[in-house]
């Protein structure tokens, strides 16, 4: 197939592009390199350095139509929440305007049969119980709002374009090699490997999250891409198992042979930190052939020790 991948130089997008090329597909890889890295896009892909928040409709349509895609994997977005809160205008350009541009172009590009887009568990309101896709969304930050709008735009495109199917994946906390944002796990690794302090000082450690390895996310995406998922579907993508944030840091510390105490620095607490965020993944596991396979212990230890799990790809 011919596949357009947006955000192809990013954390998830680079791994998706690798897998597509390995399977023999042609890839048009789009990225503005604001957070992504050019070296994460394999040479076999056709790379277009473009900002989807700024490119004109005409230029974008011309390039996409000339490529003749069968499907679009839309991963381009700003998803580091502190940055999103500080830069709401840029967030809406990158996350919402880009989706609208793609949706309108796809509606006119008759070759496209499916569009997959990354959403987030942050569309859900705070709750101590696992979230189902049927739960009413109620985002509490600009990032979650931008992703909820992304879902609405994709759904609208599908409902108004005869040949088009769509899937939005509400992702949990994704981790693994080549992460491009300073989220919890890369931050913890940086602090653990910097041995100048007598203790490992982190921000909020009291909550629980569902951490899913990037290779499991790629597996989910490919299952949705190549299976009949209906006209439009929302899927939670995670492990379905919460892990205490403090436990995550402990696993990384122990994997690297560190014995320093882990301390919560209350000055680093943020207003958008949740007590818990866990998905119910039963819809995805019953309606596709996907199952997450990497345990949190295996994934974190392999990441900390530089062990490559890509052989299973």
Average pLDDT, 10 consecutive residues per value, the chain (313 residues): 98 98 98 96 96 97 97 96 95 97 93 98 93 97 97 97 96 96 93 89 91 98 97 98 96 96 85 86 98 97 90 50
- Domain match, 160 and 99 both: yes
Same domain, 55 and 198: no
Same-domain pairing of 218 and 70: yes
The strand pair at 243-244 and 208-209 is best described as antiparallel
Q: Give pairs for 183-188: CB < 8 Å, separation 24+.
A: 183/80, 184/209, 184/245, 184/248, 185/211, 185/248, 185/252, 185/300, 185/303, 188/248, 188/249, 188/252, 188/253
The per-residue pLDDT for range 116-161, each reduced to its tens digit, is 999 999 999 998 899 999 999 999 999 999 999 999 999 999 999 9
Tell me, what CATH number does 261's domain have?
3.90.25.10
Residues 10 and 105 both lie in one domain: yes
Same domain, 38 and 27: yes
Report the distance separating Cα 176 and Cα 80, nearest Å: 16
Q: Is-contact 230 129, C-beta < 8 A?
A: no
With contact defined as beta carbons under 8 Å apart, do 211 and 243 qualify? yes
Which range of residues forms the domain containing residue 47? 2-172+211-239+280-293
Residues pairing with 31 in the sheet: 49
Instruction: For residue 287, give the CATH number of its domain.
Output: 3.40.50.720
pLDDT of residue 268: 77
Are residues 160 and 67 part of one domain?
yes
CA 151 to the chain's CA centroid: 14
Structure tokens at 201: 């000082």
Take residue 26 and report the two structure tokens written for it.
């042609």
State residue 267's pLDDT score. 79
Domain count, the chain: 2
Q: Are 96 and 146 in contact (CB under 8 A)?
A: yes
Return contacts of 47-53, CB within 8 angstroms, 24+ apart.
Answer: 47/8, 52/6, 52/76, 52/94, 52/97, 52/98, 52/101, 52/102, 53/90, 53/93, 53/94, 53/97, 53/98
Structure tokens at 97: 């305007």
First to last CA, the chain: 19
pLDDT given at position 311:
56
The pLDDT value given to residue 313: 46
Displacement of CA 163 from its chain's centroid (Å): 26
pTM of the model: 0.95
Residue pLDDT, tens place only, 259-271: 999 999 887 777 7
Residues 142 and 287 in one domain: yes
| Sign of the CA dihedral running 168, 63, 49, 9 | positive
Whether 98 and 228 share a structural domain: yes
Considering the domain architecture, whether residues 185 and 303 belong to the same structural domain is answered as yes
Tokens of 139: 């985002």
Q: Cβ neighbours of residue 90 under 8 Å, at least 6 residues apart? A: 53, 78
- Whether 181 and 265 map to the same domain: the answer is yes
Are 192 and 261 part of one and the same domain?
yes
Q: What is the spatial distance between Cα 102 and Cα 40, in angstroms, rounded to a whole number?
A: 22
- What does the mean pLDDT of the chain come to? 95
129 token code pair: 């119980």
Q: What is the CA radius of gyration of the chain?
A: 19
Q: Is there a single domain that holds both residue 147 and residue 83?
A: yes
H or E element at residue 57: helix 57-67
* Cα 180 from chain centroid (whole Å): 11
Say what the alpha-carbon torsion angle 233, 237, 242, 244 is, to the nearest 10 degrees.
Answer: -130
pLDDT reported for residue 195: 77
């Amino acid at each position: 197939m011919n596949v357009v991948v947006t955000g192809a130089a990013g954390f998830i997008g680079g791994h998706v592009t690798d897998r597509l090329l390995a399977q023999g597909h042609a890839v048009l890889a789009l990225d503005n390199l604001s957070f992504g890295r050019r070296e994460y896009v394999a040479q076999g892909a056709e790379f277009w350095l473009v900002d989807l928040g700024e490119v004109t409709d005409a230029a974008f349509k011309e390039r996409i139509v000339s490529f003749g895609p069968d499907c679009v994997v839309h991963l381009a977005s700003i998803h580091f929440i502190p940055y999103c809160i500080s830069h709401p205008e840029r967030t809406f350009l990158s996350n919402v305007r880009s989706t609208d541009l793609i949706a309108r172009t796809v509606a006119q590009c008759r070759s496209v049969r499916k569009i997959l887009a990354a959403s987030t568990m942050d569309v859900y309101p705070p709750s101590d119980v696992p979230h189902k896709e049927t739960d009413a969304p109620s985002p509490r930050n600009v990032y979650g709002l931008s992703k909820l709008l992304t879902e609405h735009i994709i759904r609208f495109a599908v409902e108004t374009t005869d040949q088009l199917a769509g899937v939005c994946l509400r992702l949990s906390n994704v981790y693994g090699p080549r992460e491009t944002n300073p989220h919890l796990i890369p931050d913890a690794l940086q602090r653990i490997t910097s041995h100048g302090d007598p203790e490992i000082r982190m921000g909020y450690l009291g909550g629980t999250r569902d951490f899913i390895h990037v290779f499991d996310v790629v597996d989910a995406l490919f299952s949705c891409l190549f299976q009949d998922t209906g006209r439009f579907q929302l899927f939670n993508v995670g492990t379905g198992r919460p892990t205490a944030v403090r436990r995550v840091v402990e696993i990384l510390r122990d994997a690297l042979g560190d014995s320093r105490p882990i301390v919560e620095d209350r000055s680093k607490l943020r207003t958008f930190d949740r007590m818990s965020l866990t998905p119910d993944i039963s819809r995805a596991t019953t309606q596709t052939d996907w199952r997450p396979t990497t345990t949190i212990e295996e994934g974190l230890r392999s990441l900390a020790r530089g062990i490559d799990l890509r052989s299973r790809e």
